[in-house]
Amino acid sequence: MSVEYDLVVIGGGSAGLVAASAGAQINARVALIEKHLLGGDCLHYGCVPSKSMIHAAQIAYNVKTASRFGIYTNEPKIDLQKALGHVHAVIDTIQAHDSTERFEKLGVDVIYGKGQFVDEKTFEVNGRQLKSRSFLVATGSRPSDLPVQGLKEAGYLTNEQVFNVKERPATLAVIGAGPIGCELGQSFSRLGSQVTLLASRDVIMPKEDPEAARVVQSHMEAEGVRILTNTRAKSVKVIDGKKHIFTGSETIVVDEILVAAGRSPNVESLNLEAAGVTYDKKGIKVDAKLRTSNHRIYAAGDIIGGYQFTHVAGYEAGVAMQNALVFPTKKADYRVIPWATFTEPELARVGLTERQARDRYGDDIYILKQGFDGVDRALAESAGYGFAKFITKGNGEILGAHIVGPHAGELIHEAVLAMANNLKVSALQCIHVYPTLSEISPKTALQLTKQKYAKNTFLQNSLRKFFNWRRSIAG
C-alpha cells in the first residue's frame, strides 16, 4: 500500500534533519529515511568527535607546556581510551537532540533501512513504496578510496574508524593535509603519537590563503609534527608488522596510517537513473533552487559537492525544504560562506583570497593586515601569533577575510556579518571591549584609512600646511 507524503527525506545527517524537522513543524507530512544512525557523519565521525578530541588534546598540550607560565608539573600520563570516552560522551549527549523519539514527536515518520527509487515519484525502503509530492536526497559523502598500491591490503584508518581505536599508535602517518588531516594529526601528536603528515602541495590546507596556512604549518612543526610537502604516497607494504609508505624519495615507517584525502558522494545505491536524476562522480547535479533534473526531487549537503560543511548543508536544507513544500522561488546564495579549521592556531575564512581578488579585480584592491602581536589580550594569553587579513575595494567593500590565530573561528563572524549585510569595512571600527581578542577586527579595518592616507599626498600636504599655520599663529 502506497503512503502519500508531502516530503520524503533520504538521509538523516545535517541536511536531512534540518529539512525533516522544519517540514514537520509547518505541518507537512514528512518521512525521514536513514540506513544507520540519525546525526550523520558530522555527529558520529566528523565535527563533533573531532572537536571533542581537539579539546582533550589541547588540555594535554596545556599541561605539557605549563612551565611557560611558571607552573611545573610531571609529564602527563595520557589515557587515550578515556580521552575517546569524552568524545563518545559528547556524541551521546548531542544524539539525544537527534533521536528518533524527538523527530517522531514532531510528527516525522522515521524509517530505518536502505532504499532506492523505483520510478520518478516512488522511493522503496524495506519493501515499502513511498510516494511523495517531493523528495530530498541528503545521503552525504564518505572518505574516498585512494589509488595507492598496497594501501587497502596494509589497512588504514579514516575519520569513520579513528575515534574507536583501541590504543594510541606510537607512530602515525596522515595522508592528506586538508582540515581533517591537520586537525587530527595535531591532536594525535599532542596525545603522544609521533606524527608524519603527507601534503601533496607545497603548503598544508591548499584551499586557504597560503600566508595564513603557513602560520599553522610552522606552529605544527614547532610542536613536533613532521610535515612533508609536495609528497604523495606511491605504495604501501607491511614489513615485520610495520607499515612502510614509499613516496619515491623516502620510506616512512609507521604503526598506523590515517587517510584524510577527499570525499565521495553516496549515490551508488539510490537507483537515481530510475528517478531521472542526473549525477556524476562529484555528486548530484542541481540548479540554483537545489532541484535535480527531476524537479520533484531536490538534493542538499555533501551529496551535491560544493561547500562540504555542516553549516552549509543546514542552509541548503532550508532552501530545498521551502522550495519543495511551498513554492520553488528561493535560490541558494553562496556569496558569503565562512568556514574554519580548528588546529592551533585556528584558521578561518570568508570570501576571496588575495590571489582570487587580484585575478578578479586586478590591483584595484587593498590588503589590510593586523598581527595578533598588536592585540593586548593575545599577548596576555601568550598567543601573539598569526594575523587578520581583510581584502577590500577602495570604497571599503569587503571581498574576503582571513584570520589565523587564537579563536579565529569565533572572530571571523564580524566580517561575515558585515559582508552578508553589505557593510563597509569601516563598520568594524565600532567600539570594542578592551582587552579582548575581537579588537583584531577594528585594528585591521583601520588599515584601510591608513593606507589611503599614505597614498593621498594632496591630503598630507594640506594637513601639513594646516598644522604649520596653526603653530605659527599660536606662537
One domain for residues 130 and 46: yes
Give the end of a domain, one of 232, 261, 290.
261
Amino acid identity at 231:
T
In a domain, 430, yes or no: yes
In a domain, 470, yes or no: no
pLDDT at 210 over 50: yes
One domain for residues 435 and 447: yes
pLDDT at 347 over 50: yes
One domain for residues 33 and 136: yes
Q: State how far the alpha carbon of 86 is from the alpha carbons of 52, 57, 239, 351, 412, in Å.
A: 7, 11, 34, 35, 28
One domain for residues 124 and 272: yes
In a domain, 436, yes or no: yes
In a domain, 439, yes or no: yes
In a domain, 392, yes or no: yes
pLDDT at 1 over 80: no
Cell of 448: 584601510
In a domain, 76, yes or no: yes
One domain for residues 158 and 233: yes
One domain for residues 240 and 279: no
pTM beyond 0.75, yes or no: yes
Cα separation, 237 vs 65, whole angstroms: 37
pLDDT, averaged across the chain:
95
Q: What is the pLDDT of residues 362-410, one digit of tens each?
A: 988 999 999 999 999 999 999 999 999 999 999 999 999 999 999 999 9
pLDDT at 218 over 60: yes
Domain that holds residue 432: 345-457
Predicted confidence at residue 2, as pLDDT, reads 54
One domain for residues 246 and 319: no
What confidence tier does 75 reach under pLDDT thresholds 50, 70, 90?
confident
pLDDT at 319 over 90: yes
Q: What is the pLDDT of residues 436-465, one digit of tens each?
A: 999 999 999 999 999 999 999 999 999 999
> At 176, which CATH number?
3.50.50.60
Helix or strand holding residue 124 (H, E): strand 122-125
One domain for residues 156 and 254: yes
Q: Domain count for the chain, please give it.
A: 3
One domain for residues 91 and 113: yes
> At 389, which CATH number?
3.30.390.30
One domain for residues 229 and 193: yes
pLDDT at 3 over 70: no
Predicted confidence at residue 82, as pLDDT, reads 93
pLDDT at 474 over 90: no
Contacts of 91 (CB under 8 A, 6+ apart): 39, 43, 44, 48, 49, 52
One domain for residues 135 and 172: no
Quick one: the chain helix, strand, coil %, rounded to 5? 40, 25, 35
One domain for residues 171 and 95: no
